[in-house]
Amino acid sequence: MKFADFPKPSVTADIVIYTIQNKELKVLLVKRNIEPFRNKWALPGGFVRIEESLEDAAKRELREETGVEEVYLEQLYTFGEPKRDPRGRVITVAYMALINSENISLKASTDVSEAGWVMIKKIPELAFDHKKILDYSLKRLRWKFEYTPVAFSLLPKKFTLSQIQRIYEIVFNKKFDKRNFNKKILSLNILKEEGINKDVPYRPPMMYSLKKNIDEIVEIL
């Protein structure tokens, strides 16, 4: 068969972006303002234009639908069930990122009526197969927390061991023994001591920063 004989499916890019707010793991969702699934919550994303790369499309859709820019995106997985989109044959390439949301102001576009951070514990019914994408991304996120230093992207440049532990407890939704956790983190030799934090009324903790040029794969847990 010739190339022209094959029907051409459409391609979308969907983005899963996590943050931590008020001691809760949250994901960025948008409420759709168009059919299908009008007024349903969904992951930000949209169709890839013919002249775009997948990553450029993901960044454009994220900027247009939420106002979020300058975010590192990592390709997550490809979802291609034949009937995942009621409009026709649509394959989506999902991306994932973890960001500090403090300095981000969300802004919805004409395609969405609302954009906001939603707690993982309280995810509403999602459009398309976005719940499946979200579930898969959460497993990948926890894997990355176990074997890479990605969690440190949520911390300020200088941080305490307690701050690191708090982030891990939020993402894994469980408590870690403080002594064992600190011992393991310090044994990895990825932190640099930055001196005592004297601006606290209690026993001042040691401040740390992440060393430069560390390995991409680090067995954190």
**How high is the pLDDT of residue 98?**
87
Q: Give the C-alpha separation, 193 to 178, whole Å.
A: 19
Cα–Cα distance list, 106 to 70, 132, 182 (Å): 13, 24, 35
Q: Give the C-alpha separation, 131 to 93, whole Å.
A: 15
Whose tokens are 């299908």? That residue is: 36
56-79 tens-digit pLDDT: 999 998 888 888 887 888 999 999
Q: Mind telling me the catalytic residues? A: 114
Contact between 16 and 27 under an 8 Å Cβ cutoff? The reply is yes
Residue in 92, 103, 217, 209 with CA at minimum distance from that of residue 150: 217
Tally Cβ neighbours within 10 Å of residue 143.
11
Tally Cβ neighbours within 10 Å of residue 161.
18
Tally Cβ neighbours within 10 Å of residue 213.
4
Amino acid at position 50, single letter: I
**How high is the pLDDT of residue 204?**
82
Beta bridge partners of 12: 47, 92
Both structure tokens of 137: 């991304």
Q: Give the C-alpha separation, 13 to 58, whole Å.
A: 5
**How high is the pLDDT of residue 7?**
85
Low-confidence ranges of the chain (pLDDT < 70): 103, 198-201
**How high is the pLDDT of residue 1?**
75
**How high is the pLDDT of residue 205?**
87
What's the predicted TM-score (pTM) here?
0.88
Q: Give the C-alpha separation, 94 to 103, whole Å.
A: 24
Element spanning 60, H or E: helix 54-66
What lies within 8 Å, CB to CB, of 53 at 6+ separation is none
